[in-house]
Each structure stands twice: as structure tokens, then as C-alpha cells.
Amino acid sequence: DAGITQSPRHKVTETGTPVTLRCHQTENHRYMYWYRQDPGHGLRLIHYSYGVKDTDKGEVSDGYSVSRSKTEDFLLTLESATSSQTSVYFCAISETGRSATDTQYFGPGTRLTVL
Amino acid sequence: SQKIEQNSEALNIQEGKTATLTCNYTNYSPAYLQWYRQDPGRGPVFLLLIRENEKEKRKERLKVTFDTTLKQSLFHITASQPADSATYLCALAASGGSYIPTFGRGTSLIVHP
């Protein structure tokens, strides 16, 4: 596995509470991504980062914010969790993010349940 | 709208046979197409990449074809083994864009001994 860790691996929380998921990489890759995976929808991009403090929205960014203060860490925050945000969240990294030969390496995932 | 379609029904085959999975797309001009493998409870793992100007790519028992006229990619696993059982995702990145891939929903492959 590429050097990607996610924490926590499992979390149960209540509606309305803030939640922060962490992705940590040891590969020094420039691009980092957050996806969610739900049955019937597959992987959908939430936000991505193309450098420290440089982030952009993905397909399903509403209700989520991100921050990247160091190359190795990418945080995903749910400011006020809702039941619709119950999902499995994957972090991914890629070396450049702007090459046709770039591939993504995924972390192990975080299973989040919002009650 | 852009769509990536993979068969939602699981593909069941016998060990030793060739498994063929399909990825169809519409309203895309893909720069490249990738295939990933995902095991239960784990993140996807990259397998193969094929560019728009390539017809076929091989890696060991894996073969990918890419037909931009039919807007289709086929993913073959020859001499399949029970260990090949997993979900296989295709992903496309459009030309002229950011190269961030969009993923299909995946097809589950079950290889029976």
C-alpha cells in the first residue's frame, strides 16, 4: 500500500455535530483528494487539493470543507453532520494530478455513521 | 450529461475461464481510462491505464481494450482464479481538463472454484 493513512477508521456521531476526518501521506505527492462511496453511486469526488492551502470543490462538496496546511495532511470537515453524510470516505493521492499517466493511490477508508 | 456505465449485476464465472467486464461512457472525450480493483472494506487499487490513442494494453493476465468509436472499454482477466473475486472500477479523465478521473460504480466479479 502507498503510505496513506486515514483516521479515524470508524466513527459514529449524531446529527448536527462537527466531524473531522484526517488523511496523512508519506509519499510527498502534490495532489490529495477526498471521495465518498455509497451503494448505487460509486466514488464521488468531494474536494481536492493541488498544494498546501490550495483546494477546490468536487462533484459533491456541499456540507463539506477541507484544509491542507502541510503537504502530508488533508482534513475533511463536516461542520454539522447529517444522516445523508453517512458513507465510506476515501482519501487518495496522486503525484502530479495533471498528467494523463497519473494514477491515484487510495487510503483504507473511514466508515462514518451519522445517527 | 456525462455518464460512465458498468454492469451493476455481479459477473459469476468458473475458475480458469476468462472474465470480461464492460465500461461504457457517453458525452466524454476521454484522455485516458483506468481500471481499479476494490476488495471489500478496502480502497481501490490501480491496475491498468490506457490512453485514448491506444487500442489495447496488457499486464500479466489482464488485458484492457479501448474503443473510442464505440465509447467502450473491455477489461479481461484470463485464467481467472477465486482470488480475482473483487469489484472492478473503471475511471475516465476527459481531455483538456484537470485529469482528475471520474469513476464508474463498479462491477462485482465472483470466480467460483
Question: pLDDT per residue over A19-59, tens digit each?
Answer: 999 999 999 999 999 999 998 888 999 999 999 999 999 99
Q: Which three cell numbers stand for residue B33?
A: 481510462
B50-71 residue pLDDT tens? 988 899 999 999 999 999 899 9
- Per-chain mean pLDDT for chain B: 92
**pLDDT level of residue B29 (50, 70, 90 thresholds):** confident
Q: Which residues pair with A34 in a beta bridge?
A: A47, A91
Question: How does DSSP classify residue B96?
Answer: T
Q: Chain A residues within 8 A (CB-CB) of chain B?
A: 33, 35, 40-45, 48, 58-59, 90, 92, 97-109
CB-nearest to B100 from A40, A45, A107 is A45
> Which pLDDT score, from 0 to 100, does residue A12 have?
97
Is A104's CB within 8 Å of B102's CB? no
Is B101's CB within 8 Å of A104's CB? yes
In this structure, are residues B12 and B110 in contact, taking their beta carbons and an 8 Å threshold?
yes
B91-108 residue pLDDT tens? 998 776 667 889 999 999
Is B105's CB within 8 Å of A92's CB? no
CB-nearest to B98 from A42, A98, A104 is A98
Give chain B positions within 8 Å (CB) of A44: 103
> Which pLDDT score, from 0 to 100, does residue B8 have?
86
Question: How does DSSP classify residue A80?
Answer: S
> Which pLDDT score, from 0 to 100, does residue B83 have?
98
> Which pLDDT score, from 0 to 100, does residue A79 have?
93
CB-nearest to B43 from A59, A90, A103 is A90
> Which pLDDT score, from 0 to 100, does residue B47 have?
96
Give chain A positions within 8 Å (CB) of B3: none
pLDDT tops 80 at residue B19: yes
Which of B4-8, B43-47, B107-111 shows the lowest mean pLDDT across its residues?
A: B4-8
CA-based nearest residue to B32, from B82, B102, B93 = B93
Q: In this structure, how many other beta carbons lie within 10 angstroms of the beta carbon of residue B103?
A: 23
Q: In this structure, how many other beta carbons lie within 10 angstroms of the beta carbon of residue A101?
A: 11
> Which pLDDT score, from 0 to 100, does residue B73 have?
95
- Count residue pairs from A and B with Cβ separation < 8 A: 51
Is B98's CB within 8 Å of A101's CB? no
Q: Chain B residues within 8 A (CB-CB) of chain A?
A: 31-32, 34, 41-46, 49, 51, 89, 93, 98-106
A60-114 residue pLDDT tens? 999 999 999 999 999 999 999 999 999 999 999 998 766 666 789 999 999 999 9
Is B100's CB within 8 Å of A33's CB? yes
pLDDT tops 80 at residue A16: yes
User: Smallest CA–CA separation between A90 and chain B, in Å?
Assistant: 7
CB-nearest to A106 from B44, B105, B106 is B44
Site of grid cell 493511490? A105
